[in-house]
Amino acid sequence: MAEVDRDPEVYFHKMLVAVDDSEDSKLAFKYAVHRAKKDHLGLAIVSILESDEMNVYQAFSNDYVHGEREDLERHLEEYRHEAEDAGVEKVETFIGEGKPGDVIVHETIPTIKPDLLIIGARAKTTGARVGSQAAYMVKHARISVAVIRK
C-alpha cells in the first residue's frame, strides 16, 4: 500500500455507506468505493430491513421476515464483492432492522465506529429532495456525513 500524504485533522480511516437500491444510494456506494480505494480506507456497507414497510401479517411471519433478511444478506454480499473487485482492501457489511436513520445513528455507527457516513439524498420510496431518514442522519449523527444526490 502506497503511503498517502494526509492531514491528520481531516483524514478519515473508515467510511460507512448506507444502501437501499435508490439511485442516490447507488451513487453514494460508487463514491464510497472510489474514496475507499483511492485513500486506502476501510469500508462498511449497511442496509436496513425496514419493518414498517411490512404489513401486519408479514411482520408476524417468521418465514417472511427470514426470507426478506436472506435477500438483504445476498444483496449486501453483492455490494461487498463489487467493492472488493474494485480494489477496496477492507470491506465489512452490517444489517439492521427498523427505521434506517435511527438504526444507523444509534446502532450501526457506535458498533462500526466510522469517521464518515455516506448516504443518498433520496430514499427509494420517496421523491423528496432530501428524504426524512437522510435529514435525520445529518442532524443526529455524531460523525461527518456526506449526502450524495443524482
Q: Is the pLDDT of residue 117 over 50?
A: yes
Alpha helices, H only, the chain? 23-39, 56-59, 62-85, 100-103, 109-112, 132-140
Does residue 127 have a pLDDT over 50? no
For 92-115, what is the mean pLDDT?
94
Residue with cell string 455507527 = 109
Digit-coded pLDDT (tens) for 14-53: 999 999 888 999 999 999 999 999 999 999 999 998 765 5
- Is residue 7 over pLDDT 60? no
Query: Would strands 90-97 and 14-18 be described as parallel, antiparallel, or unpaired?
Result: unpaired
- Angle (nearest 5°) at CA 140 between 135 and 145: 65
What are 150's three cell numbers? 443524482
* pLDDT of 55: 43
Mean pLDDT of the chain: 83
CATH fold of 14-148, please? Rossmann fold (3.40.50)
Residue ranges covered by each domain of the chain: 14-148
Cβ atoms of residues 18 and 100 within 8 Å: yes
Residue 114 confidence class, pLDDT cut points 50, 70, 90: very high
Pairing of β 116-120 and β 90-97: unpaired
